[in-house]
Amino acid sequence: MCLTYLAQSVPAQSLLFLDRAFVADHILQVLDATPKLIDLTSTFTCNGKKLVPDAVVFPPIDISTQVNTEYKLHENNWNDFGYQTKFSCGSSNFFKSVKIAYMGQPSSYHTSEELKPLYEDLLIDRPLPKKFYSYWKLGSWASEDAKQFGYTWHAMKHFNHIFCEAVRQDLWTFEIFQQKLLNKLDVSGPGADKGGVFTSSLFRGVSLFCIKEQFEAFVSDLFQFEVIDIKYLTLAHLQDSTNVESLKERSIRKQFVYEYLLHQQVKTLVPNVSPKISSHFWLPSVKPSQLALLSAPMYLDGYLKLMNVNLPNVLETYTASLLPKQIFD
């Protein structure tokens, strides 16, 4: 039941691994049909034995932020050497000045003219078509809380932020990103003779060196993983000092192994990053709250994060899942 809730709450491309034993077939079909951001096939094998964590999530986002947020765009008539790509963008949780462009965009033609036939009143209620790319300077995700991290990620996906598009195409190093995507878009840096909407407007005044710095910081901040295990134990049992040794033997040492194997796989796929991996124990419980997930005290000096899974709330999701339906965008 808890894993069904997880599978229906986390974006399918972010749920890299799931213990499939007790999850409905129609949910697994949707998960299997969705390309993952990182391939963890055959990751959890040690000494010839297959290990099965309950779930691995990447990037770890606050589930409540991945909702059907609508973004209202307002044209800004700023002119970049004839190109007009600038908007002010607002939603209940995201306010930015963004630039949006597309390949072949002519000068003196605002991007909004291409968007208006697709989105009434420039209300963006679904991701932009793939021909569009956006850019705005990102802050450090390491300093953002889980909610803000989630809101930013949601907006990046909706507007095809060019760094998000690199992730979708598995372009994890700047050299490959430049070769496969930036060169395709004629992104040449300021002062280049080529011009074009991407150099002259989307990245106006931004050097390739700055793009490289921003992209590498983005990738580094993005590489955060949560290894989740469901534990049918009470918080009191975990906090009882007489149980620590048996818990280490049966549960906690496995987390070290999961984290080690995940770390090795990520470093193999993306050698230039140092992944940040955290382990979470989900504890089924009954709490007087409308929330499905509630934080519990940190465990073992902060090594493990504990989460109370509020079963009455999760049960609603589980019951609804018994009928096959399309659960992901």
Measure the CA–CA gap between 101 and 75, rounded to whole angstroms: 13
Interval 58-99: pLDDT, tens: 876 665 556 667 899 999 999 999 999 999 998 878 888 999
Q: Specify the pLDDT at position 193.
A: 46
233 and 216 inside one domain: no
53 and 86 inside one domain: no
Structural domain of residue 171, as residue ranges?
71-221
313 and 243 inside one domain: yes
215 and 236 inside one domain: no
pLDDT score of 300 more than 90: no
64 inside domain = no
Among 205, 221, 237, identify where a domain stops.
221
Q: Specify the pLDDT at position 195.
A: 63
Helix 311-321, helix 2-9: angle, nearest 10:
70
Mean pLDDT over 321-326 rounds to 53
Closest CA to 185 of 130, 239, 249, 223: 130
Interval 207-243: pLDDT, tens: 999 999 999 888 888 888 999 999 988 888 888 889 8
Measure the CA–CA gap between 184 and 7, rounded to whole angstroms: 36
326 inside domain = no
**Cβ-contact 301, 249 below 8 angstroms:** no
79 and 173 inside one domain: yes
142 and 271 inside one domain: no
Q: Specify the pLDDT at position 291.
A: 66
49 and 117 inside one domain: no
Helix 25-32, helix 2-9: angle, nearest 10:
40
Among 221, 254, 285, identify where a domain stops.
221
98 and 188 inside one domain: yes
Among 221, 240, 262, identify where a domain stops.
221
66 inside domain = no
Domain tally, the chain: 2
92 and 158 inside one domain: yes
113 inside domain = yes
Interval 37-57: pLDDT, tens: 888 988 999 888 999 999 999
Measure the CA–CA gap between 325 and 24, rounded to whole angstroms: 11
Cβ atoms within 10 Å of 92's Cβ, excluding its own: 10
Interval 255-292: pLDDT, tens: 999 999 999 998 888 887 888 898 999 888 887 776 67
Interval 154-166: pLDDT, tens: 899 899 999 999 9
* Cβ-based neighbours of 219, under 8 Å, separated by 6 or more: 167, 172, 270, 272, 273
pLDDT score of 16 more than 70: yes
Q: Quick one: what percent of the chain has pLDDT higher than 70?
A: 88
Going by pLDDT thresholds of 50, 70 and 90, the confidence category of residue 114 is: very high
Strands 132-135 and 95-102: antiparallel
Element of type H or E holding 258: helix 253-269
Mean pLDDT of the chain: 85
144 and 41 inside one domain: no
